[in-house]
Amino acid sequence: MGNSCPRISNSLTIYRMPFIVTTKQMLAIFCFCLLVYIGVVLQYEHTQTVHCECWDRNKREYGWIPSSGNSTEDKKKGNSAFEELKTVYYSLTEPWNLNVNRSREVQRKLINSTHPENLLFLTQDTTHLGELKKYTREESLSFIVSEDLYRHLPKTKPINFSRVKKCSIVGNSGILKNSHCGTNIDKSDMIFRCNLQELKAYAVDAGRLSHFATMNHGIVWNRYNRLIDKSDIKRFISDATEFSGIIAIPLGGPRSITMGIRAMKAMNSNHRVKFVFFNPEHFLSHRAFWNHNVTSIMTTGMYLTSLAMTLCEEIHLYGFWPFAFDAQGRGIPFHYTEDIEAGRATHDMPEEFKLLIDLHKQGLIHVHVGPCR
């Protein structure tokens, strides 16, 4: 098999058949057509299998899964990738120390480049009605700040930007499952969370406190059925009221505004949590800062990590592990909540994880991957 996946040709040759045929000829034609049909089906199934193997091979190049190939070369590559994965895992379980001077140096550079105090959120005092802004994921598209959007913006910045001692960022990786890290997470002065994962049911592993969470439009669109029915709205309110502090909505594309405003209207009477929109300029400034390391669409987890580096003295990451296996070869679910399975990714998580490992080694952030003692 070559490097590229074979494709079935769409062209078919049509043979003209005589007007009068004998029974034997008809039987021969039928058998011929049946054999052609079976051949096409088998070739199609083979193509699909090869396609999956190519996809898996691409993932293996990033260390997603150990090789399951039968050839000696595939096994060597798989073993090599798995040994590398184990090395990374165990390096992250070694004692870690905060590099105070380096942390402050990077923090100053980040603040000067991203201006969190003025750019983090869309607010009425920093945003103008009718202003044109870019989306973060679909940069070729722009949106105008409409009256409806402007009306749902806070008048001023909703949080105080004083420096925080210890912060934890909770990602969604299944590496958190059975980790018993909840108590460690909840001891932090400020806790960031990604995409509104349920709190109470997973408190032992992921903690139950939240000060700053994100909610992309897909959460409203898929998990809560676009908040169309009363039952969906009731379920959304019940889940959202587990949180406190800020729930921030990234403006990735056109649906973000619609779903965000719909969520805000649903939560209108609840004052325990404050819904806000991220300012796209802030997200894009962080992506530009790490551009030499992160060339694909930045994940929410990476964005929150970068944001925390402008606010916090000491940063701990939990639930960041973009691989399907741990160092013992045990399977890791895509999310610790097991709400969705891994699919075609829009982010290059292994590429980002290399950056996080580098920041960990520099003493800027502490990436936790093992069980909490």
Top-confidence residue, 57 or 162: 162
How do residues 188-241 score in pLDDT, each as one tens digit? 999 999 999 999 999 999 999 999 999 999 999 999 999 999 999 999 999 999
Range list of β-strands (E), 120-210: 132-134, 142-144, 164-170, 190-193
Mean pLDDT confidence for 340-359: 78
Give the residue from 179, 207, 204, 113 showing the smallest Cα distance to 368.
Answer: 179
* Same domain for 181 and 32: no
* Same domain for 329 and 180: yes
How do residues 12-54 score in pLDDT, each as one tens digit? 333 333 445 566 666 766 666 666 555 543 443 333 322 222 2
Angle at 133 between CA 152 and CA 281, to 5 degrees: 90
At 348 the pLDDT is 75
Helix (H, G, I), strand (E, B) or coil at 313: strand
* Same domain for 258 and 187: yes
* Same domain for 96 and 40: no
Which of 10, 39, 54 is the endpoint of a domain? 54
Report DSSP letters for 221-269, one per residue.
Answer: IIITGGG-SHHHHHHHHHHHTT--EEEEE---SHHHHHHHHHHHHHTTT
The domain of 29 spans 22-54
Residue 113 lies in a domain: yes
* Same domain for 103 and 49: no
Mean pLDDT confidence for 245-264: 95
* Same domain for 185 and 248: yes
Which of 32, 54, 76 is the endpoint of a domain? 54
In the predicted structure, residue 62 carries a pLDDT above the cut 70 = no
Helix (H, G, I), strand (E, B) or coil at 116: helix
Q: What is the mean pLDDT of the chain?
A: 82
* Same domain for 109 and 31: no
Residue 153 lies in a domain: no
Residue 263 lies in a domain: yes
Residue 7 lies in a domain: no
CA 161 to CA 311: how far, in whole Å? 7
Residue 194 lies in a domain: yes
CATH code of 253's domain: 3.90.1480.20
Residue 128 lies in a domain: no
Say if strands 132-134 and 312-318 run parallel, antiparallel, or are unpaired.
Answer: unpaired
* Same domain for 333 and 206: yes
Determine what percent of the chain is predicted with pLDDT higher than 70.
Answer: 75
CA 199 to CA 191: how far, in whole Å? 12
Mean pLDDT confidence for 349-368: 94
